[in-house]
Structure 1
Amino acid sequence: MGMALTDSRLLDERGNTAFCVAAAVGNVKIAEIMIKKDPGLPKQRGFEGHTPLYIAALFGHQKMVSYLYSEPTYRDSQEDLPRLFFTSIDSGLYGLASKLLEDHPDFALKRDRNRKTALHLLAQKPKPSSYPRGSPGIFASFKGYKNPEQALVKQLWFEVAKHGKAKLIDVLTSPSHLLFDAMEIGNCEFVAQLIYECPGLVWERNSKGWTIIHAAVWHRHETIFSLIYEVGIVKNVIATFKDKEDGSTLLHLAARSAPVSQLNRLAGAGFQIRRELLWFEEVKKIVQPSYIQMKNSKGETPQELFTSEHATLLKDGQTWMNGTAQSCTIVSTLIASALFAAEVTVIMGNHQVKSAPFRIFIISDAIAFLLALAATLTFSAILTSRYAERDFLSALSWRLKMGLALLFFSITAMMFTFSSAFFIAYGHKDVFSILVTGCAGVPVLLYVFLQFPLLKDIFASTFSCTSIFKQSEPVLL
């Protein structure tokens, strides 16, 4: 016996029909079956008067939304389209938002209950940057606009621009400034896209008198800061703008401690302080010489401010670097001691074996010992360092990287020594010797796996010098 129309429209305790529940879970197949039984179901509102289309958008079900929106009778007469438009952006349904904007261009100017436009919602959507090291791809990606979010931003921007400069400025700055909202939340892609569409935005300033270059320094966004290299002599003007509240220059902003989210991009206080030093030195290159010693309203020069702001981080960096070096010194010393004992034992035993495994044993043992000894000396150089600010900029990171590399090759050579010893004792055809040789690679792989986060941060910190602040892709044409 088939389901009666009245049964399909029964409400649950929250006031939803069964079709509303299907829309909430995004089950298109069940929705199709129910519509065949009762074509009017998509018009039946559920909890708090929400239509199934709105409910599907609220839960971010792209396929269900596309299915329901494809039928005009389900949307035009019943749906609160502006509310659906803002909800689709909040839910990440940029295809639906783009379609709604295409059908209703005036939505680009509409504001939600918080007086935010669609551009404000997109600017304030937090997301990790895909180009954290200032890759030129962030600008190259705007040429094709294959990303639906990028396409929607472009569509919104040009719709707003059609209404004239006054309306454009109103949307840009009210209730808050789009660019600086995006910079605060870390949405560098949004900022980069707007600048790509309208290069003149690089001159925009907030209530503090900052440009986006100042905001990029404050929030430590290399991708946006790199635009300073494209504006030519104009950068000399931008670099003179000061904070209206305390008279801080661009270099004072670089002297401030970075946000925790940016510091945590590198694991290890030693690399964090180095990153801060790189920023400070890079900004120092673009400010006028007189600004390097200029004081803010509190009478602090940029260098004095940097030292006071980073005193705790510097101390943590000293502790971290010292602890890391001590741990590695113990390991390298133990390896060197064991290898030296093995070498001396063989030499004192006056062995005359000239087989290939024996030669491999002697040579690999000597190499492993020398590498371990070199690693020990390198880590000792870290332990005896002054741990001054400038040391973190180059010397300490290079020593740590070199020490870890020497330790890695020492362990590798030691495994050759270990394997060759079994071939000497049991012969190259013995299964036990082959099995041990295979297992000898485990410690090497384990070292790489366990130390990979540290090694990654070392190389990221060591090689992320001034190149991270420069773009090879021109933006400000």
Structure 2
Amino acid sequence: MMQIQAYKMVELMWSVVLNVIPENKVSDFMMNPSSMLHEAARVGNVEFLKVLTNEYPDLAWNVDGGRKSIFHVAVENRQASVFSLIYEMGEFLDYLPYYFDEENMSLLELAAQMPDPSHLNRISGAAFQMHRELLWFKQVEKIVELTMRRKKGKRSPRELFTQQHKGLVEDGEKWMKKTANSCMLVATLITTVVFAAIFTVPGGYTNTTTTSTTGSVIENNNNTGTPLFLYHKWFTVFVISDATALISSSTAILLFLSILTSRCAEEDFLLWLPLKLVFGLGTLFLSVVTMVLAFSATFFLFYGKDTAWVPLLVAGMAIVPVYCFGVLQFRLWADTIAALRATYFLYFRNSKPILF
């Protein structure tokens, strides 16, 4: 809704400008004293560019003092919304790979360059920053012909990308492994607790009495037999919750361990590392929820109807750690989902790029 309103506002303002400037002077107006088009592309003012390119498609061919089109500027400044306009200009898409700036840099080479830190820091976390950089490079690479990807006597854009992003790969690896290590510690603690709870069932076991042939009691053992609350509905809840917590926390440990032992190559940041992280966080959250549920179920076993407020109070307080975990880790989980969604659209959908 906000984008539609912004578009209409720019459209209205532009109609006012046209009442003052003749149509044959529009191009000169846009280029002097500075290029409004390229400045709009630099800051990501896509509404302004949409209005102008819809009314005057030829303006998209204008280049600035560095011989850069608005799409070169968009790639250089990592403006995804501006770059997506290229898919609305089929003819321009065919010629864009052959455009070189005054430094003889192609569109793909600009995508291979390390961006300004202000553009990189729009995404939190070095691993997600590396993912977005890979996504930019792959998306631009899709529209560049294979013959244009290497110029004689120069490094290929892929080699340039690897050289420029070497430090970011190392930072991304450290960030990912530090995150995985912290999460694995929590998963290990949960596994330890719920595993012990399986053998220490609430209420203990029923007594098993052994008698002799004469009827005298030989042994009265409280540590054998069936659980005292075996047929109670809350005991069933306890068992299922505890088993689910054990399985999910063990799965989380394995997923985070696979991240810790990963070689963290460039391509891993595009799919496999985010995929492992999102499943690891998901199973860890499930283990926290089911562990708290198993904990709450024991209070419903011990307290009858007369004191029903006690387990209800405990269950209410037990929601607090679940809520805190969900809220505090939501941003990380959401960023990981967004990264996987962007990767999906890159490989499996022939549509505009989704670059966060």
Contact 2:44–2:74 (CA under 8 A) maintained in structure 1: no
C-alpha spacing 1:189/1:284, structure 2 compared with 1 (3 Å): same
- Of 77, 84, 87, the match for 1:219: 77
Q: Which residue is equivalent to 2:210?
A: none
C-alpha spacing 1:295/1:385, structure 2 compared with 1 (3 Å): farther
Matched, 1:281 2:138: yes
Q: Secondary structure at the match of 1:265?
A: coil
Q: Secondary structure at the match of 1:464?
A: helix
2:12 is aligned with what amino acid?
Answer: A
Unaligned runs of 5+ in 1: 1-129, 131-136, 473-477
Q: Which residue is equivalent to 1:203?
A: 61
Q: Which residue is equivalent to 1:258?
A: 115
Q: Which residue is equivalent to 2:14?
A: 153
Q: CA deviation at 1:152?
A: 1.7
1:151 is aligned with what amino acid?
Answer: L
- Of 90, 93, 114, the match for 1:232: 90
TM-score with structure 1 length normalisation?
A: 0.64
Q: Which residue is equivalent to 1:362?
A: 239
Contact 1:364–1:416 (CA under 8 A) maintained in structure 2: yes
Contact 2:134–2:270 (CA under 8 A) maintained in structure 1: yes
- Of 139, 158, 170, the match for 1:315: 170
Q: Secondary structure at the match of 1:421?
A: helix
Q: Which residue is equivalent to 2:273?
A: 396
Q: CA deviation at 1:466?
A: 6.7
- Of 329, 341, 353, the match for 1:451: 329
- Of 172, 178, 185, the match for 2:36: 178
Q: Which residue is equivalent to 2:211?
A: none
Q: Secondary structure at the match of 2:98?
A: coil
Q: Where do residues 63-212 of structure 1 align in structure 2 (5 Å cutoff)?
A: 138=3, 141=5, 145=8, 147=9, 149-156=10-17, 158-161=18-21, 163-165=22-24, 167-212=25-70
Distance 1:427 1:290 in 2: 78
- The number of residue pairs the alignment matches comes to 327
Q: Which residue is equivalent to 1:434?
A: 312
Distance 1:302 1:438 in 2: 57
Q: CA deviation at 1:160?
A: 4.8
Distance 2:70 2:132 in 1: 20
Distance 1:326 1:411 in 2: 17
Q: CA deviation at 1:442?
A: 1.0
Contact 1:188–1:221 (CA under 8 A) maintained in structure 2: no
Contact 2:270–2:343 (CA under 8 A) maintained in structure 1: no
1:215 is aligned with what amino acid?
Answer: V
Among all aligned residue pairs of Structure 1 and Structure 2, give the percentage whose two residues are the same amino acid.
38
After superposition, give the CA deviation of every residue in 1:351-383 in whole Å (9 maximum; x if it has no partner): 142100111001100001100000110000100
Q: Which residue is equivalent to 1:381?
A: 258
Distance 2:15 2:253 in 1: 57
After superposition, give the CA deviation of every residue in 1:219-268 in whole Å (9 maximum; x if it has no partner): 111112112222225312112101222x1111101101233233222211
Q: Which residue is equivalent to 2:297?
A: 420
2:47 is aligned with what amino acid?
Answer: E
Contact 1:427–1:433 (CA under 8 A) maintained in structure 2: no
1:153 is aligned with what amino acid?
Answer: W
Q: CA deviation at 1:385?
A: 0.5
- Of 334, 337, 342, the match for 2:192: 337
Distance 1:231 1:268 in 2: 34
Contact 1:295–1:301 (CA under 8 A) maintained in structure 2: no
C-alpha spacing 1:440/1:470, structure 2 compared with 1 (3 Å): same
Q: Which residue is equivalent to 2:249?
A: 372
C-alpha spacing 1:466/1:402, structure 2 compared with 1 (3 Å): closer
Unaligned runs of 5+ in 2: 206-222
Q: Secondary structure at the match of 1:175?
A: coil
Higher relative contact order (CA 8 A, sep 6+): 2
After superposition, give the CA deviation of every residue in 1:271-330 in whole Å (9 maximum; x if it has no partner): 11001101101111100111122368xx32201111121111111100100100000000
Contact 1:142–1:193 (CA under 8 A) maintained in structure 2: no
- Of 283, 288, 310, the match for 1:411: 288
C-alpha spacing 1:259/1:191, structure 2 compared with 1 (3 Å): farther
Contact 2:76–2:110 (CA under 8 A) maintained in structure 1: yes
Matched, 1:290 2:147: yes
Distance 2:61 2:343 in 1: 27
Q: Which residue is equivalent to 1:124?
A: none
RMSD, aligned α-carbons:
2.3
Distance 2:186 2:196 in 1: 16
C-alpha spacing 1:264/1:427, structure 2 compared with 1 (3 Å): farther
Matched, 1:464 2:326: no
2:14 is aligned with what amino acid?
Answer: V
1:321 is aligned with what amino acid?
Answer: M
Moved more, 304-313 or 314-323: 304-313
2:55 is aligned with what amino acid?
Answer: E
TM-score with structure 2 length normalisation?
A: 0.85
2:261 is aligned with what amino acid?
Answer: T
2:273 is aligned with what amino acid?
Answer: L
2:266 is aligned with what amino acid?
Answer: E
- Of 288, 294, 303, the match for 2:158: 303
Moved more, 463-472 or 355-364: 463-472
Contact 2:191–2:250 (CA under 8 A) maintained in structure 1: yes
